[in-house]
Amino acid sequence: MKDEFLNSKLQQRREQNAFRTLRLPEDKTDLCSNDYLGVVRNGLLEGMPSNDLRGGAGDLRGGGGEKDLRDGGEVYHHGSGGSRLLAGNYPLIEETERQLALFHEAPAGLIFNSGYDANLGLLSCVPQRGDTVLYDYLSHASIRDGIRLSFAQSHSFLHNDTPDLEKKLRAAATPNIFVVTESVFSMDGDQAPLREIAGLCEKYGAQLIVDEAHATGVLGERGEGGVQAADLQDRCFARVHTFGKAVGCHGAVVLGSELLRDTLINFSRAFIYTTALPETSVLAIRNAYRLFPGMDGERWRLQQLITRFREASLPFQRLDSLTPIQVVIVPGNDAVKQLAARLQEQRLDVRPILYPTVPKGGERLRIVLHSFNTEEEVDRLVGCLREDGAKNKPAQ
């Protein structure tokens, strides 16, 4: 067969017990999705009146079999017709960008098709040859891939380690230095020391870039994210807010100056050479930003469940996290997959995170709590982990 050459790398994954497959959702307790506030699970966007920026009122729902979104006779299309620089630009997307920038207290914003595209597009285009990018060692793959596509030199600093960051800032002798981190880390659930990092960036003349993917909707009084919660919005060069997690839809926005927006429009290949998000997607983003800032009850409920799980004793090593992402370390791909399978048998949808996604020895259960989970579900999870730990005696 012509594709037989592909099998060697796949076989290596099988031998590591790290072979990935897709699975369909089942009727189990959701302890793995990023739908932190239940926007998707509870269909909150589908039930909202659209009240579009161009006037009129209606429902955010499909009509008949064609599934167009209609508002006072206006149809919102499922396709945009091209890239933003050709046929794919339209009033709703530009107005939504202005609204997002206003909410996040930034001069300007530019919508990308996903959080991956936003990080790729920003970091591959802004740092130039002769510049330096310093990034947290546990930064998301999209950050690493964007940096790899740039012509800048790059170095990681130890996770959330400000002394190590300062050492590398002191050694960086280039015209422009960029420091990249996440406000909430997707695989560890911990938060970056943003105030300390911002202070170091100012001390050494570096530009701070923060990925807010897992903080948007969750951190801050209105879910505005970690940067605004720490009152650092005027001290960041760029922020990336994604919409596929607590916000409950799809896409992302890069926030920064008007100069940054113009630079992305002119040089970001991930923006220039892709079909724009359609009106239906942007309408969902706009409605989500009308919805989640007022979900104080859901954020309070989520914090109660986080505290309940954190305070429960478990016979496993855990990472310290105050966010919905709770981590139980189970070293070894075999061991963590077996434990996840036993939890699945108990109708608890917890997924294992395997090497090489995380370092060898750091394989884990990534447990995600949501505002729609119940205390009984959390207690059942804790009970299953305790029982399994007693039977199988995991390493401490």
244-263 pLDDT tens trace: 999 999 999 999 999 999 99
Which of 265, 293, 321 is a domain's end point? Answer: 293
Residues 127, 234 within the same domain: yes
Q: Identify the burial level of 338 via C-beta atoms within 10 angstroms of its C-beta, where 0-12 means exposed, 13-18 middle and 19 or more buried.
A: middle
Residue 181 Cα to chain centre, angstroms: 12
Say if CB 120 and CB 93 are below 8 A apart: no
Residues 314, 289 within the same domain: no
Residues 147, 187 within the same domain: yes
Confidence of residue 62 (pLDDT cuts 50, 70, 90): very low
Q: Is residue 45 part of a domain?
A: no
pLDDT on residue 200? 98
**Number of domains forming the structure of the chain:** 2
Residues 260, 156 within the same domain: yes
CATH of the domain at 20: 3.90.1150.10
Say if CB 208 and CB 226 are below 8 A apart: no
Which of 227, 262, 293 is a domain's end point? Answer: 293
Which of 293, 312, 345 is a domain's end point? Answer: 293
Confidence of residue 2 (pLDDT cuts 50, 70, 90): confident
Say if CB 324 and CB 7 are below 8 A apart: no
* Backbone φ, ψ for residue 82 (5° rounding): 160, -175
Q: Is residue 325 part of a domain?
A: yes
pLDDT per position as a tens digit, 125-172: 999 999 999 999 999 999 999 999 999 999 999 999 999 999 999 999
Residues 283, 312 within the same domain: no
Q: Identify the three-state secondary structure at position 128.
A: coil
Q: Is residue 64 part of a domain?
A: no
Question: What element of type H or E holds 337?
Answer: helix 333-345
Beta-bridge partners for 239:
210, 255
Confidence of residue 49 (pLDDT cuts 50, 70, 90): low
CATH of the domain at 177: 3.40.640.10
The tally of CA atoms less than 13 A away on the side-chain side of residue 24 is 2
Residues 221, 313 within the same domain: no
* Backbone φ, ψ for residue 241 (5° rounding): -110, 125
* Backbone φ, ψ for residue 368 (5° rounding): -115, 125
Q: Is residue 5 part of a domain?
A: no
Residues 304, 272 within the same domain: no
Residues 283, 335 within the same domain: no
Angle at which helices 279-291 and 91-103 pack, to 10 degrees?
A: 30
Across 325-339, average pLDDT:
95
Residues 264, 337 within the same domain: no
Residues 268, 307 within the same domain: no
Q: Which of 18-32, 62-76, 352-366 has the highest mean pLDDT?
A: 352-366
Residues 377, 231 within the same domain: no
Across 326-336, average pLDDT:
95
Q: What's the rounded Cα separation, in Å, for the pair 47 and 60?
A: 6
pLDDT above 70 covers a percentage of the chain that reads 92
Q: Is residue 288 part of a domain?
A: yes
Q: Is the peptide bond before 356 cis (omega within 30 degrees of 0)?
A: yes
Domain that includes residue 348, residue range: 11-37+295-392
Q: Is residue 230 part of a domain?
A: yes
Asked if the model's pLDDT at residue 36 lies above 90, the reply is yes
Q: Is residue 167 part of a domain?
A: yes
Residues 105, 200 within the same domain: yes
Give the residue carrying structure tokens 């996604």: 357
Q: Is residue 348 part of a domain?
A: yes
